[in-house]
């Protein structure tokens, strides 16, 4: 596992989504490391972490626990995006003594028929090429105006990512998601939990986020009305930073939904 540790203080662990890497969290990490110890890592086959043959749901959480133990991290706050959100939920259920608080961004606890269809579309595209996958997923994660106003940057990102993307790893990650179901265990989560969602998310639909919030007792749902799956866009970077600072400092939630 390739990882980065920065800063000092209470530990915050960031877990990225499918086809991303630890750089996804660069803005948040840079602005939180003065107050917290930040641990970011690349999931298997993502970024600079090698792909292993046994990528499974259990492998994700056991690999994470092994890394925490090697770094002598006994307790941490966990923040996960999409697939990373599912991993964070699973880890919280499996190893509650390690978890101080939980933040789930565009996450899910169960792969329903709708999500299965999306993930199978991802796999079909990935079997063709990374470019095919990128062109499929982009309008699902970003609103049209964001894509239009950042066309050159997004094209460059596609070109750069296609040179290093491990499509096999992404397919294996999609397979983990396809079999993911931890819905029945959500009521076991007792740590303060923050759920961040995009109102127009086409992957982890808002209805899924509402179900998460309804089944995790000590949780709060915040909905951003200007984004799809990828929440860290434009001014939302600063909004989410402020939300995380307040949450991590107080670790107190209410059941309010902000629109």
pLDDT in tens, 195-235: 999 999 999 999 999 999 999 999 999 999 989 999 999 89
- Torsion angle of alpha carbons 142, 146, 151, 156, nearest 10°? -50
Report pLDDT digits (tens) over 59-113: 899 999 999 999 999 999 999 999 999 999 999 999 999 999 999 999 999 999 9
Instruction: Specify the number of domains making up the chain.
Output: 1
Residue 202 lies in a domain: yes
Report pLDDT digits (tens) over 109-166: 999 999 999 999 999 999 999 999 999 999 999 999 999 999 999 999 899 988 889 9
Q: Residue 55 belongs to what domain range?
A: 3-111+182-258
pLDDT exceeds cutoff 60 at 10: yes
Residue 250 lies in a domain: yes
List of residues 6+ apart from 74 with CB closer than 8 A: 68, 98
Residue 144 lies in a domain: no
Stated pTM of the model: 0.94
The CATH number given to whatever domain includes residue 36 is 3.40.50.1820
pLDDT exceeds cutoff 70 at 175: yes
pLDDT (mean) for 55-59 = 85
Residue 17 lies in a domain: yes
Residue 216 lies in a domain: yes
pLDDT exceeds cutoff 70 at 20: yes
Residue 102 lies in a domain: yes
Residue 164 lies in a domain: no
Q: What pLDDT score does 253 carry? A: 64
Whether 107 contacts 85, CB under 8 Å = yes
Residue 149 lies in a domain: no
């Amino acid at each position: 596992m390739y990882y980065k540790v920065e800063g000092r203080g209470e530990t915050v662990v960031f877990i990225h989504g499918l086809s991303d890497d630890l750089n996804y969290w660069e803005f948040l990490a840079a602005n939180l490391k003065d107050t917290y110890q930040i641990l970011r890592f690349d999931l298997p086959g993502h970024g600079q972490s090698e792909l292993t043959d046994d990528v499974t749901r259990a492998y994700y959480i056991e690999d994470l626990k092994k890394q925490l133990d090697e770094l002598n991290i006994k307790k941490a706050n966990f923040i996960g995006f999409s697939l990373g959100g599912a991993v964070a939920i699973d880890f919280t259920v499996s190893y509650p003594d390690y978890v101080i608080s939980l933040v789930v961004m565009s996450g899910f606890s169960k792969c329903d028929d709708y999500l299965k269809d999306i993930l199978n579309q991802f796999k079909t595209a990935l079997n063709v090429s990374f470019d095919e996958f990128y062109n499929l997923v982009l309008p699902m994660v970003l609103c049209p105006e964001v894509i239009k106003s950042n066309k050159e940057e997004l094209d460059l990102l596609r070109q750069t990512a296609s040179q290093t993307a491990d499509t096999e790893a992404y397919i294996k990650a999609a397979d983990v998601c396809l079999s993911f179901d931890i819905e029945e265990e959500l009521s076991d989560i007792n740590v303060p939990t923050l759920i961040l969602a995009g109102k127009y998310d086409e992957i982890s639909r808002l209805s899924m986020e509402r179900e998460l919030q309804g089944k995790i007792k000590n949780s709060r749902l915040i909905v951003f009305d200007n984004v799809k799956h990828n929440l860290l866009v434009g001014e939302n970077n600063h909004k989410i930073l402020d939300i995380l600072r307040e949450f991590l400092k107080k670790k107190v939630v209410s059941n309010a939904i902000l629109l």
